[in-house]
Amino acid sequence: MHHFLSHPRLRLLLPLGYLGLLPGCVERLSALHPAGPAASAIATLWQVLLGGAAAIFLLVMALVLAALRRRPPAGTDDTGAERVWLWGLGLAFPAVTLVALTTYGLVVGERLLPRDAPDLVTVRAEARQWAWTFAYADAPGRTTEGVLHIPAGRPVDVEITSADVLHSFWVPRLAGKLDAIPGHVNVLRLEAFAPGRYDGVSAEFNGTGYRDHAFAVEAHDPAAWAAFLAGETP
Q: pLDDT tens digits for 133-165?
A: 999 999 998 999 999 999 999 999 999 999 989
Question: What is the fold, at CATH topology level, of the domain defined by 121-229?
Answer: Immunoglobulin-like (2.60.40)
Q: Which residue positions in the chain have pLDDT lower than 50? A: 1-25
Average pLDDT over the chain, rounded to an integer: 81
- Percent of the residues in the chain that have a pLDDT greater than 70, as a whole number: 79
The model's pTM: 0.74
37 with 191: CB under 8 angstroms?
A: yes
